[in-house]
Amino acid sequence: MSSSDIPSLWLTPEKCPNQWIFRCLTSLDNLVETNLAAHYFRQLVTILEDDYHILNYHLEIGHNLTKNNQFDVCIFFNDPRRSNNPSTTRVCISCEPTHELCSASFLSEQRHTRAWLDARAREKLILTPIRHVERLSELIDENEEMEAFWRDAVELIHRECDQLNGFYPKLTLNHGTYRNHAHLHLKMTFNDQIWHDTIAPRHAEQLQQMKQILKNPNIMEDCFGHQKDKKKKEDSTET
């Protein structure tokens, strides 16, 4: 398979003010199974960043369950409230798995990625590249890092959900000034039923440990920066 196998329609966005929508007429699972995920997302970020110079954006993937799990990639940009890059922190929570909070949230390590519980103990799972990269476009094709990123994402979803039963989590990637952390994070948001019935019970001990660790203000500042400024930024968009 090559980039020429991607239909041009899937890479032609519907353009609204401050929002573009790319409609991919297959599922993310199928894109991974056919080894096209890396090709598709490489071309998509090239369109955004190289062709249109959109560097600060919130990328959100949502599946249409009534249309064979076809998915939309929504790009939100030009939000004036998002004007600053994330502040530097003492600890990169995706690079230091031996740190107390990172160790508590750690789930698994693959060749190119790590899987985590959300570092703030929110109802999310996280996938990050092992390398410290800040943009999806920085992932490498030649060593299959880009392909592995999406393959590992799909495998994590299926491993943690057992059965999706007509549901697929919302996936988000923030870039540039839309980030709260420098390291690229793929955030997976699940519905209440799947989280509380399946995922949370499986990791109950870890989640409880994390909640205790997060009560330490020094750890909060080391991992997330100054909390007053962080709260203002997080309030401006879902991250």
User: Per residue in 47-59, pLDDT tens?
Assistant: 999 999 999 999 9
How far apart are the C-alpha atoms of 169 and 124, rounded to whole Å? Answer: 9
For residue 193, report the phi and psi dihedrals to the nearest 5 degrees. -65, -50
User: Per residue in 193-209, pLDDT tens?
Assistant: 999 999 999 999 999 99
How far apart are the C-alpha atoms of 108 and 104, rounded to whole Å? Answer: 12
* pLDDT, mean over the chain: 90
